[in-house]
Each structure stands twice: as C-alpha cells, then as structure tokens.
C-alpha cells in the first residue's frame, strides 16, 4: 500500500500506478496493481471508479489545500473541492462540515481539511456521524490515526507545517492500512458514544 501511494504521489500518474484501495482488514501491504473500488462503491465516482477524496480549507489554509489537491489529482484520485479558493475570510466550520458530510454519507472515501491550526476543523468534522477526524502534524501521528483509530478525515494546520511536510503526511496517512484486531473494539466504542448522543427523530436527546 505505501509503495503504491508513494509512486502515485511522486507523480507517476494513474497509468503507472493505481491509487490505493480502501483499507484492507489486516496489516499487510496491498499487492501491486490491486483494484480501486468498483464503480458505485462507497467513496468511488460512478464514472471512473476512482477513489474519491473531499478537500477543503478556510482562508488560512487554501493555498496548502490547493497544493494537496493538485498532487492527489495528478495521482488519479477524484477530488471534490469544497473551497475556499482565495484569501477572503470564511468560517472554517462551514468548510469542515462540507467535507465531513461527504465522508459521513459515503460520497467520498476520505476527507482532508486545512485551516490555520487544524484544531477547529477537526472539532467540527467529528460532530458529523460516521466521521473519525484526526489532526496530524507529523508522520507518526498520521500513521497511528489510520492504524489504531480508523481515521477517515485528516486535518492539517497550515501555520504549523509547510507544503513539503504536509504532502508527506498525506502520503503516510493514505498509505497506512487500518489494522483491526484489538483496535476494532475500541473504535466501535467511539461509534457507540456517537450513537448515544444522536438525537432520534421526533424525540429528545437520550439521557
């Protein structure tokens, strides 16, 4: 898996190396040439079957977001850009919600959000059911968030990391498999907490 992602993000392009598949249920790397999600699968665009990633940023992170989007697009991913695309001030909760919603409803396999610190966007994204967002500033935390926590949204702080490191973090995050085992029960407990506070239709919040 890491070898495939490294090749594609280094500019080999989709013809030379396909984008990574969704996480496999084990620690082993995906075999070279492994198929991308089939058309119609969660997180795949119907037309091409490419792995879909939603990206977004506020005015503090739009340039880094655009750089990440270019690299991922060249690697063969289907990119949904939720904005913003300029220096005019916007509210990060709006952008973070737009990205997280696409991951939560299955429209996109993964999401990447950039703001000044990455903290606020992570908080917002984690309010969306089905989203497990992780703020990462280094390669170790990026890998850990995938292996242990099954993260499906990555948030980055543009004020704290440069473009080069950000691309390396994205590479590490996308190239790391979810390793269930003992972690599966703990991630399920995260989901259970989420369920306990979801407001049932027409009812009050459970006590």
Could you list the active site residues? 148
Phi, psi of 153 (to 5 degrees): -135, 135
Q: Is residue 19 within 8 Å of 76, Cβ to Cβ?
A: yes
Phi and psi at 62, nearest 5°, equal: -65, -35
Helices (H), strands (E): how many in the chain?
8, 5
Cross-sheet strand order for the sheet of 133-135: 78-81, 52-57, 110-115, 153-157, 133-135
Neighbour count for residue 90 (Cβ, 10 Å):
19
């Amino acid at each position: 898996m890491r070898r495939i992602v490294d090749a594609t993000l280094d500019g080999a392009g989709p013809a030379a190396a396909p984008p990574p598949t969704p996480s496999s249920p084990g620690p082993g790397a995906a075999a070279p040439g492994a198929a991308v999600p089939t058309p119609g699968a969660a997180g795949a665009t119907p037309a091409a079957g490419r792995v879909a990633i939603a990206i977004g940023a506020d005015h503090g992170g739009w340039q880094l977001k655009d750089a990440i989007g270019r690299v991922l697009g060249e690697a063969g991913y289907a990119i949904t850009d939720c904005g913003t695309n300029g220096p005019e001030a916007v509210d990060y909760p709006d952008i973070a919600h737009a990205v997280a919603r696409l991951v939560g409803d299955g429209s996109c396999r993964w999401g990447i959000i950039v703001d000044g610190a990455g903290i606020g966007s992570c908080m917002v994204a984690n309010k969306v059911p089905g989203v497990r967002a992780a703020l990462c500033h280094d390669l170790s935390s990026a890998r850990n968030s995938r292996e242990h926590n099954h993260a499906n949204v990555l948030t980055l702080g543009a004020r704290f990391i440069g473009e080069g490191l950000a691309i390396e973090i994205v590479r590490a995050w996308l190239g790391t498999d979810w390793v269930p085992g003992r972690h599966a029960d703990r991630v399920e407990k995260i989901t259970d907490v989420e369920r306990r506070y979801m407001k049932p239709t027409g009812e009050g919040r459970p006590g």
